[in-house]
Amino acid sequence: MSTPGAYLRLIRIGWVLVREGVVSALPSEDLPALPKAAQSFAGLFARRRARNEDRSDRLARAIERLGPSYVKIGQFLATRPDVVGAEFAEDLSFLQDRMATFPVEEARAAVEASLGRPVAELYTNFADPIAAASIAQVHPATVLKDGVAQKVAVKVIRPGVRQRFAHDLEAMFLVAGLQERFVPHTRRLRPVEVTKTLEQTTKIEMDLRLEAAALSELGENAKDDPGFRVPKVDWERTGRDVVTMEWIDGTKMSDVEGLRSAGHDLDALADTLIQSFLRHTLRDGFFHADMHQGNLFVDPQGMIVAVDFGIVGRLGKKERRFLAEILYGFITRDYRRVADVHFEAGYVPSHHNVASFAQAIRAIGEPIHGQPAETISMAKLLTLLFEVTHLFDMETRPELVMLQKTMVVVEGVARTLNPRFNMWKASEPVVGAWIRDNLGPKRILGDVKEGLHAALRLAEAAPEIAAKTEKFSRDLASMAENGLRFDEQTAEAIGRSEARHSRSGRAALWVIAITLVVIAWRLF
């Protein structure tokens, strides 16, 4: 149950969004009369400066006022256009995760607490921060290895960030619960589950050992990939609150003129970027899910180097196969197969008609085949596909939405390097090879092999399964004969919990009422 503090934080969020003009700038065409009137009324309380700004600027300013937690929450929601809408997700995608730095003394203390050794013993030099985000900041440092000084990047967690995120997520859970309760048509988007995903994502991102592990895993997967690599991790100097990695000397992909001046082939870089992403997705089922320009460098040798692995995505073998078949179906205009795959995967509820869904898919695919390949946008294709699946009650698949958003971002980066970038031509070597290896005879042999392994594991576990089944049968018979009973201690605990929740609920309502009175008094 939500605490009174969650309601207060929710009121603050609403007030900041009103004051910065975000509420009054939201699309209102499809709103009923009462909410539309409330939105117009909210516009009266917007700051005068905000009324002359674009919606994305208003949103950025509001989230900056709310604090670093909301910058990260906003960036996460930017990957979920299915939840917040395509326009709102686009506004959120402009959020810059650049925050004020915290003192180097606090960073040193965090490093020593995490690694259990003095900073002077770990690094020969530990400099002031060069960049800071909502969760951590980066320091240049030097280490001595085999008598040779090596420059490294040290990422340190922002003090108190875990507690702040925990409090702010409580308000997010409250919003999600209210949405599921009072806006029935959004239940298919599973807002509470989305918030749980956000909670899990931020927990992982705030344990820098897990980011180091992601760096290490993708580094091993990509060790033989042409034109792509990731920084090496210094495990001796890595802990929960600090990760030390190889320093990257290179040009950011956002600096197109700098890349051109350094003599890099921009068209080749665009092809390498999309091929690397697809390789990681289809071959490995593990991909960097935050591949915007700020996280991509090109080193002097022309290698693309990806950094900041706080957000990663995974796809199982089945999901990879469905993804490849869907892409292949669009390429070959086999729309019935695309529809069948959606139903086989369980993406579309079975009560819908497959032929009708195939017809809707055709409406997306046919216009694409009449265009030059370099004008076909993956972003547009995926947006149209999302609109169609919305009509057929497709439930949210977080792993697929993350993949979709990352693919759109990567395509956007490639097009900044090469405005005539041909997504399909660049993808064909990777996608075509994967399809040949995994959707033909080779796939059947692999499936048979996996089936045999599964049967062997089942045979090994058979005695234990039989014993557990027998015990369950005895317990069930006993329950049927004697009934299900709570012991005295359990009954008392349930009573205390119910009483506590009732008191908390009443207290929360009083706090909300008093807060609204105070706000109204200050306004008038």
Strand (E) or helix (H) holding 175: helix 161-182
Question: Rounded CA gap, 383 and 385, in Å?
Answer: 5
Distance set, CA 20 to CA 9, 45, 57, 88, 442 (Å): 17, 9, 9, 15, 58
Distance set, CA 510 to CA 2, 7, 150, 446 (Å): 14, 11, 59, 62
Question: Rounded CA gap, 336 and 334, in Å?
Answer: 6
Instruction: Return the percent helix, strand and coil in the chain, to nearest 5.
Output: 65, 10, 25
Residue 78 in tokens: 């930017």
Distance set, CA 79 to CA 66, 441, 471 (Å): 20, 36, 46
Strand (E) or helix (H) holding 148: strand 148-157
Question: Rounded CA gap, 176 and 11, in Å?
Answer: 15
Phi, psi of 31, rounded to the nearest 5 degrees: -75, 145
The residues that bridge with 305 in the sheet, in sequence order, are: 229, 297
Query: Hey, which residues are catalytic here?
Result: 290
For CA atoms 257, 259, 264, 268, the dihedral sign is negative
Strand (E) or helix (H) holding 24: helix 22-25
Distance set, CA 519 to CA 11, 13, 17, 185, 464 (Å): 10, 13, 14, 32, 63
Residue 76 in tokens: 């996460």
Between vectors from CA 172 to CA 92 and to CA 191, what angle results, nearest 5°?
A: 80
Bridging pattern class, strands 304-306 and 228-229: parallel
Residue 220 in tokens: 């091993």
Check: CB of residue 359 under 8 Å from CB of residue 352: no
Question: Rounded CA gap, 470 and 105, in Å?
Answer: 62
Question: Rounded CA gap, 63 and 168, in Å?
Answer: 12
Question: Rounded CA gap, 318 and 282, in Å?
Answer: 11
User: Count of CB atoms within 10 A of residue 98's CB?
Assistant: 13
Question: Rounded CA gap, 263 and 272, in Å?
Answer: 16
Question: Rounded CA gap, 288 and 2, in Å?
Answer: 34
